[in-house]
Structure 1
Amino acid sequence: MERDYSHRTRLQKLGIKPESLVFIQGEMDEDFLAEVESQRANADKCDVLLARVEEMKDLKVFAKLHLKMQPAAGLWIVYPKGKKHIREADVRAAGLTAGLVDNKVVSFSETHTALRFVIPLANRPKEKSEPSGN
């Protein structure tokens, strides 16, 4: 049975919580920018990163942004819906080449889709444990 996400806001679909820090690269619609204006921050401190791509050459964004991701951050690639010059398979392949895995897709707008990438759990730095004091 499919879940109905139609009642959720765009921010909820993207996992952007009120306390989330958001980095945006590329042009986004003004409504979205207004929704996250108070949450925008530098890429290396963010919980959620979004990058808009329009052409295959724009997928080079992975080379820079995946290095700035916090271990549990999500990188959303926003790309045109239903176009042959840049397809979901192209976006996914670029993310995999950068060492990321995709785990969610949402409708970003009437014209664009967003695909989320994360650092695989096995590749995330291990947190240091506190000394036991014994």
Structure 2
Amino acid sequence: MGLEAECTARFDGKVSDGKAHLDSNELHFRGTFRLSISLKDVQSVAAENGQLKVTFQDGVATFNLGAQADKWALKLRYPRSLMDKLGVKPGSRIAVIGVKDKSFWDQLRERTSDVADGRPRRGTDLVFFAAEKKEFLKKLDALQRYLRKDGAIWVVRPKGKPQITERDVMAAGKKAGLVDTKVVAFSETHTAEKLVIPVKRR
């Protein structure tokens, strides 16, 4: 989502100026007090007269966002699904290599039936490649050969682990002649980085 704004927040009898940030999983506020609201805990959202009111399990938080309040409310009410963020469309040809996350698989099967578990097929739209260590990234060069010209490889790696970092993925992608274009929070434990074939090579 990536919305951010300077605002005044009210929660639990406290009032503070600060910065609010809305991503795909949480609404954060940083001021004289800090607040993080998981989107899965949001019970209701209302926007009126520039005020965004968010009701969640710990109470009600209000953010004075002015003209942006309606936009934030819409994003909170209708957050994009993981499949939307990853660009999986109905009928997409997908290959999944090593990704075991059950929630991902459930959502993927609801979106498309054209899924190879393991070795990709020619003309694949998206490859989801689990890389637990940077040594795994040596396979990127071979994997891109199965992609459509406008396809992509999503490298799914553990968050905050020294065995493989964002820098490792970017470096390996560059070595394979790929360009990194996007980062998505794949799950609570994993991050996904998108690598594509440069336009000049398509």
When normalised by structure 2's length, the TM-score is 0.57
Cα-to-partner distance string for 1:42-71 (whole Å, 9 max, x where unaligned): 432211111000012111220220121110
Which is richer in strand?
2
Q: Which has the higher helix share?
A: 1
Is 1:29 paired with 2:104? no
Describe the SS at the equivalent of 1:20: coil
Larger radius of gyration: 2
Q: Look up the equivalent residue of 2:172 and give its one-letter code.
A: A
Q: From the superposition, tell whether residues 31 and 39 of structure 1 become closer, same or farther in structure 2 (CA, over 3 Å).
A: farther
Rounded Cα–Cα distance in structure 2 between residues aligned with 1:35 and 1:22: 13
Percent sequence identity is: 41
What SS does the aligned partner of 1:73 have? strand
Which one has more relative contact order, counting CA pairs under 8 Å at least 6 apart? Answer: 1
Task: Tell me whether 1:54 sits opposite 2:54 in the alignment.
Answer: no
Q: Are 1:18 and 2:90 counterparts?
A: yes
RMSD: 1.7
TM-score by length of 1: 0.85
For 2:105, give the aligned amino acid.
L
**Gaps spanning 5+ residues in structure 2: where?**
4-21, 25-78
Q: Please list, as runs of the form range in 1=range in 2, the aligned pairs for 1:89-108 lying within 5 A after superposition.
A: 89-108=167-186
Counterpart position of 2:158 = 80
Name the structure 2 match of 1:129. Answer: none
Which residue of structure 2 lines up, in the alignment, with residue 127 of structure 1? Answer: none
1:67 matched to 2:67:
no
Uncovered stretches (5+) of structure 1, i.e. residues with no partner? 125-134
Partner SS, residue 164 of structure 2: coil
Q: Report the counterpart of residue 39 of structure 1 in structure 2.
A: 114
1:102/1:116 contact within 8 Å kept: yes
| Closer, same or farther: CA 5–19 of 1 in aligned 2, 3 Å | farther
